[in-house]
Amino acid sequence: MNDQALLLLVLAALAILMIWGRWRYDVVAFLALIVSVILGLVPADRAFAGFGHPAVITVAAILIISRALA
């Protein structure tokens, strides 16, 4: 199976799981990312590069602080 077909399969499974609503959206999206890395569709260094961006860290810190204040 070529990469395009595998990616289409991953995206279809992602859409079905999100529509189904049994699992949280962030878990489904992270699972799709992990599956894409395992299948070799996305390089691991590129897949997780966005998590180290300062904006992501800032938003996470704000969410933690707001939860602590609530």
Q: Give CA–CA dist 56/58, Å, rounded.
A: 5
For the chain, what is the domain count?
Answer: 1
Q: How sure is the predictor about 10, in pLDDT bands with cuts at 50, 70 and 90?
A: very high
pTM: 0.75
pLDDT at 2 over 90: yes
* Residues of the domain holding 43: 3-69
Tell me which of 1 and 15 has the higher pLDDT. 15
31-66 tens-digit pLDDT: 999 999 999 999 998 988 888 899 999 999 999 999
pLDDT at 1 (0 to 100): 81
- pLDDT at residue 11 above 90? yes
- For residue 36, the tally of other CB atoms under 10 A from its CB is 19
